[in-house]
Amino acid sequence: MSARKLAVIVLAAGQGTRMKSKLPKVLHGLAGKSMLAHVLSGVEQLSPDQVVVVVGPDAPAVEKAAAPHRVVVQHDRLGTGHAVREAFSALAGFCDAGDQADILVIFGDTPLIRSATFEKMVARRRAADGPVLLGLAFRPKDAGRYGRVRLDAQGRVAGIVEFADASDAEKAIDLCNAGILLGDGPTVCRLIHQLDNNNAQGEYYLPVIFDFAYAEGLDTRAVEASEEEVMGVNSRQELAAAEQVLQQRLRNEAMAQGVTLIDPASTWLSTDTVFGRDIIIEPSVFIGPGVTIADDVTLKAFSHIEGANIAEGAVIGPYARLRPGTEIKAGGKVGNFVETKNAVLGEGAKVNHLSYIGDAEIGARANIGAGTITCNYDGYNKWKTVIGEEAFIGSNTALVAPVTVGAGAIVGAGSTLTKAVEKDAIAVVRGRLVEKAGGGASFRAGRQKIKDQKTAEQNAEKKG
């Protein structure tokens, strides 16, 4: 049985009108990646032989997001059963009688199902006594208007009934349909071709194949998952609820790996964050996609980090922003109200206050004073700033790239640097001080005289 092939059909053709968005529903994001990406990464853990994503017409963004998997367009949105049938054209070797293959059908807007749940379904299907057709079900706190799963005395799925069609007895059933199914490929294909759309909606309903299979005496079963896992996302409110669920998972995983979250509820993570151990994350830290954090790092409060690599022992924040392309070497420090972008800070380098470091390479143990800016953009192109090891850049310095400061050099505070500074040199670029004795008092007296004159003119106009 282990040699059986597996195909996965992902239904992603829904319009998502309740999202009120130009963006296709399945491309809305959770923890740094789209719902479709979450679903695909989940099933990819199964190493399927084929993945087919069913998309709606004129959905190039969804097609691009589905790559490298095969895409089939559902030109007429006639229900889930019709969408699955459209996918069969891309599943040669999965539908013909005698094919040793299974088909798993899932939804692109159900992003919280764990890989372990899919694996459980596959293991149950491929067991020696595995059922021909298997559905995913759940027991919600409030069954509401979910479709009900009817079980017979032997625990087989006798059918799935929609709430609107359910009797009072059927509405009392607490086992509900999640819509996801796995079955023998040829059988699934055959049963779906038996569907019709003789209903009020004019649609082909996928769950009806359980009724067909049971009527044939086939073994039909259900695997249960948590209500949280099978949460579908159809609105902004549901998207926010799913984000909360996913964030809590990520927080728990991070803490299990040795990360201290001082206030877990205010810490926001991405699914691809790589953590070391003994990391301390203070409240209100946001970690976006593409971040790697090594051992013994401290992320201070209110910092925003994305696309950055942070080496062991570094300290970031508070109120720091690390943008994509940032690399902080061991022991580096990025302090309050510092922004970095496409910048490398060497071991032990410090940028502690109120600075912008973009398109730059900062040597080991260099010290960047408060208010320093790398002027990396001339309106047309980006240019690089290179600062050598153990260099000292005084406060309020503007480094007009491309420019290089040699190792051990010192740049005086308030300088605007446009030329290279040699190793171990001191560079000061300031305007000459011009002082006029008594000039301040004379200036104030002159300004007061003008003000008094204007006041007198205004009063004269009022009397006139």
Does the pLDDT at position 164 exceed 90?
no
Residue-wise pLDDT for 425-447, tens only, equals: 999 998 888 899 999 999 999 99
Residue-wise pLDDT for 326-364, tens only, equals: 999 999 999 999 999 999 999 999 999 999 999 999 999
Measured distance CA(405)–CA(372) in Å, rounded: 14
- Of 2 and 85, more confident: 85
Residue-wise pLDDT for 272-298, tens only, equals: 999 999 999 999 999 999 999 999 999
Q: 208-215 and 185-192 helices cross at what angle (nearest 10)?
A: 110
Enumerate residues 6+ apart whose C-beta is below 8 A from 226: 138
Q: Per DSSP, what are the bridge partners of residue 404?
A: 386
Enumerate residues 6+ apart whose C-beta is below 8 A from 359: 341, 342, 343, 374, 376, 382, 383, 384, 385, 401
Instruction: Provide the percentage of residues in the chain whose pLDDT is more than 70.
Output: 100
Backbone angles phi, psi at 393, to 5 degrees: -110, 115
Residues 120, 104: contact at Cβ < 8 Å? Answer: no
Residue-wise pLDDT for 391-417, tens only, equals: 999 999 999 999 999 999 999 999 999
Residues 295, 276: contact at Cβ < 8 Å? Answer: yes
- Is 380 annotated to bind a ligand? Reply is no
- Is 413 annotated to bind a ligand? Reply is yes
Which positions are annotated as active-site residues? 353
- Is 214 annotated to bind a ligand? Reply is no
Please tell me what DSSP assigns to residue 94.
Answer: T
Residues 144, 48: contact at Cβ < 8 Å? Answer: no
pLDDT band at 1 (very low <50, low <70, confident <90, very high): very low
Whole-structure pTM value? 0.88
Residue-wise pLDDT for 240-258, tens only, equals: 999 999 999 999 999 999 9
Domains defined for the chain, CATH in brackets: 5-225 (3.90.550.10), 236-427 (2.160.10.10)
Instruction: Provide the percentage of residues in the chain whose pLDDT is more than 90.
Output: 92
Residue-wise pLDDT for 112-151, tens only, equals: 999 999 999 999 999 999 999 999 999 999 998 899 999 9
Measured distance CA(179)–CA(225) in Å, rounded: 12
- Is 396 annotated to bind a ligand? Reply is no
- Is 251 annotated to bind a ligand? Reply is no
Please tell me what DSSP assigns to residue 265.
Answer: G
H or E stretch including 163? none
Tell me the mean pLDDT in the region 222-237. 95
Measured distance CA(87)–CA(51) in Å, rounded: 10
pLDDT band at 14 (very low <50, low <70, confident <90, very high): confident
Residues 112, 230: contact at Cβ < 8 Å? Answer: yes
Q: Which among 290, 328, 283, 318 has a CA at the least distance from the CA of 306?
A: 290
